[in-house]
Amino acid sequence: MVIERAGVVGSGLMGSGIAEVLARAGLDVVVRDISEQAVDAGRARIEKSLARGVERGKLSEDERDAAVARLHYTVDMKDFADRQLIIEAASENEDIKKAIFAELDAIVTAEDAILASNTSSMPIIRFAQSTSRADRVLGIHFFNPATVQPLVELVVSELTDPQVVDTVESFVTDVLGKVAIRATDRPGFVVNALLIPFLFSAIRMIEAGHATKEDVDTGMVNGCAHPMGPIALADRVGLDTCLFVGQSIYEETGDPAAKPPVLLSRMVDAGMLGVKSGRGFYDYSAK
Ligand code: 3HC
């Protein structure tokens, strides 16, 4: 199966990054969000990132123009009808995602189309069971920023056809140039099962007054060669996303390390979501 026509559901932080990766790899991409406003924000994010890619010498102006021409924006799910691979990157809400998978199942015509979710931690099997083709559903989990982070986790549910996983693994490595790892359909898969307890430990450390956020971040950057400290990383991932992922791991496993710190919940209640809202642990309003 040669995948040439892709779709991305959701043009937020991850959806726009995934759409950009696909278009840069030469695919024709339909990007859908629920309102014109959301679609316009996604388009602006992608075009800004493509411009940054040109500035950094990662792609030429011609390649940027070709990528822009391969991206089609819509608010209509029916525009996914002829797609061969669709990656859902909507908000981390199980009911919303299940409804999207049920709708895609009714719309997408090719029997061998692959339906994927970029969920950070929700069970893939629940989305698969919302369709009549559970064997063709899997998790394709990108990392933020999707254009820069090489990793893609392939999440294999109890019902995913092994041939679908092989097809997607070849696609993400050979066509997208990413590094793939496989994970079973368990909370947090591989990376978030390790990352979220780490981020939460850092937040608890500042909540307890044990160290300042700046010192926690300086410590991990300079002591362990992390590209950014855990508090800055939580802001970049999005504090709401960190909260949802922690809740979803904690609900299923009861692991206290994944229990969201109270400080994190309160900040999300306050609309302090990190970089995307202009304020999280740090202030981004000037940038
Ligand atoms: N297109 C292509 N390349 C780009 C780009 C773009 N739009 N923007 C930046 N780049 C490239 C740069 O050219 C540079 O490449 P080089 O190393 O070859 O020169 C590289 O990306 C780094 O870019 P910058 O120099 O602008 O930025 P920094 O060096 O400050 O790095 C960062 C920023 C990439 C965010 C880095 O701090 C980092 O990797 N942080 C950790 C991020 C992380 O851990 N992400 C995972 C989060 S977990 C997740 O997503 C899972 C979810 O489910 C929660």
Q: Which of 120, 157, 248, 277 is catalytic?
A: 120
Q: For residue range 13-30, what is the model confidence (pLDDT) as tens digits?
A: 899 999 999 999 999 999
For the chain, how big is the Rg over CA atoms in Å? 19
DSSP reduced 3-state for 139: strand
Q: For residue range 161-208, what is the model confidence (pLDDT) as tens digits?
A: 999 999 999 999 999 999 999 999 999 999 999 999 999 999 999 999
Q: Which domains occur in the chain, in start order?
A: 5-184 (3.40.50.720), 191-277 (1.10.1040.10)
The percentage of the chain sitting over the pLDDT mark of 90, rounded to a whole number, equals 97
Q: Are β-strands 114-117 and 137-142 bridged in parallel, bridged antiparallel, or unpaired?
A: parallel
pLDDT classification of 146: cutoffs 50, 70, 90: very high
Q: For residue range 268-285, what is the model confidence (pLDDT) as tens digits?
A: 999 999 999 999 999 999
Asked whether residue 287 carries a pLDDT value surpassing 70, the answer given is no
End-to-end Cα separation, the chain, in angstroms: 44
Find residue 175's DSSP bridge partners: none
Average pLDDT of span 203-230: 98
Asked whether residue 252 carries a pLDDT value surpassing 80, the answer given is yes
192 lines ligand 1 (CB under 6 A): yes
Whose CA is closest to atom 35 on ligand 1? Answer: 145
168 lines ligand 1 (CB under 6 A): no
Asked whether residue 80 carries a pLDDT value surpassing 70, the answer given is yes
Q: Is 94 a catalytic residue?
A: no
Please state whether the peptide bond connecting residue 145 to the residue before it is cis, i.e. omega within 30 degrees of 0.
Answer: yes
Q: For residue range 37-78, what is the model confidence (pLDDT) as tens digits?
A: 999 999 999 999 999 999 999 999 999 999 999 999 999 999
Residue 122: what are its φ and ψ, rounded to 5°? -75, 150
**Ligand 1 mutation pick, 22, 52, 56, max ligand atoms within 8 A of CB:** 56
Those residues whose C-beta lies under 8 Å from the C-beta of residue 9, and which sit 6 or more positions away, are: 15, 32, 77, 80, 86, 87, 88, 89, 90, 100, 104
Please tell me the distance between residue 191's alpha carbon and the centre of ligand 1 in angstroms: 17
148 lines ligand 1 (CB under 6 A): yes
Average pLDDT of span 221-235: 98
